[in-house]
Amino acid sequence: MLNQDAIHDMEETRSRRSSGGRSALSVQTTQSVTSEQPPDVSQMKSQLWAKETQIAAMKTKISLRLAKFNLSENKKEFDQYKEKAQKILQAKEKLVDSLKSEQNVGDSADRPGHLLQAELEEMRVERDLARADLESAQLMVYNLRSEIDEMENQLREEQTKQTEQRRQYLEEKQSWHATISLLNEKVDCARIESEFQKQEMKRQSEEFARKLELQEAELRKNVEDQRARRREEELTRGSDGLSLGERLLQKQIELEEALRNNQILALKLERLQVYQLYYINYLFICPCSHL
């Protein structure tokens, strides 16, 4: 009956210890998966990066707490198992001593010697198994402690990395802010320059339009003068036909010259207006490309 109780206690302790080992193994697996997935750091998505780093740190802390909890539970089970194993060993040793004393006294008439020897060997084997289980439990506790130390080291390294990444992120953020401020200043300067160029183009366009109007007025005046002179020359054509022809030729040349100047001024005005529209569109569509 004592052997059956001892075997039952040993099996129950083994099952609890195996469940604790599986829990520790799951914690180790979770920690390894967490450590193999570094947080994705993005310069343009700082909030996402901060959330991911916080989640990674929380997972690591939770895994460490779970491992410590499992270690505490396994340590309790190990202490209980150790206490039960010691009680079983003490009971078996007492039984072995009593059997030896009975054998020495000579009270072996009721029980054959080979049966006593077999029971004694069985107890010794069970004692050795209990000792092996005890050593295995001690090794498991040692491994759990090593795993916890490793996880604590990984947590410290992860915290150091996060601190360094946060520092780099702040430096990059400050650099981006300085760059954006400089670009905003350049855009303001370009806008002012564009407004100045627009006013200058408008002034030149008005000046050319005014000159063109003066040329047209002068041309109309010349045409009217020529018509008046032609009427006068028609009246005096009979007396000085040769001089009238020369005058007509000269007036025609002057008229052609005035028309040519008018066309040139009109073409310059048209080109200036086209250039003005192109330059204004260029400045407002691509305000930073000419910087």
Domain coordinates in residue numbering, the chain: 2-184, 189-285
Instruction: For 216-226, write each residue's pLDDT tens digit.
Output: 888 888 878 87
Q: What's the pTM? A: 0.34
Which long-range contacts does 202-205 make (Cβ < 8 Å, 24+ apart)?
202/276, 204/272, 205/269, 205/272, 205/273, 205/276
- pLDDT of res. 92: 67
CA–CA separation, 90 and 181 (whole Å): 82
Residue reference for tokens 């005014």: 210
Task: For residues 54 and 40, give the distance between their C-alpha atoms in angstroms, rounded to a whole number.
Answer: 12
Cα 261 to the chain's mean position, in Å? Answer: 66
Per-residue pLDDT band for 50 (boundaries 50, 70, 90) equals low
Lowest-pLDDT choice from 34-48, 56-70, 106-120, 197-211:
34-48
> Is it the case that residue 120 has pLDDT exceeding 60?
yes
Give residue 288's pLDDT.
47
- Using one digit for the tens of pLDDT, what is the confidence trace for 136-192? 777 887 888 888 888 888 888 888 888 888 888 888 888 999 999 999 999 999 889
Give the contacts of 16 (CB within 8 A, at least 6 positions apart): 77, 81
Position 37 scores a pLDDT of 40
Name the one residue in this structure whose structure tokens are 């009979």.
238
Secondary structure element (H or E) that encloses residue 261, with its range: helix 241-285
